[in-house]
Amino acid sequence: MDAPPRDPGEPKEPAQVRRILRLFRPYRARLALVGLLVGAASLVSVASPFLLREILDVAIPGAAPGCSACSPSA
């Protein structure tokens, strides 16, 4: 039986993939740093709504008892 046709973007051999990855070897540290920074930015963007909820639900209502601008009923 014939093998299914290959995707034109798919490498023909694993050796080609290794050869391409070797090109990035001198930049491993920089790529790792970029990956860590992207991960940190993702965590900050995920945490942002939770921090905002805490500010709105906890910090502002308990800020100052006599502050009419701070109360939710103002």
Q: Which two tokens stand for residue 20?
A: 């391409």
Mean pLDDT of the chain: 81
3-state secondary structure of 2: coil
What confidence tens digit (pLDDT) does each residue in 12-31 have?
788 899 999 999 999 999 99
pTM beyond 0.85, yes or no: no
DSSP conformation letters of 4-72: PPPPTTS-SSHHHHHHHHHHTGGGHHHHHHHHHHHHHHHHHHHHHHHHHHHIIIIITTTS-TT-TTTST
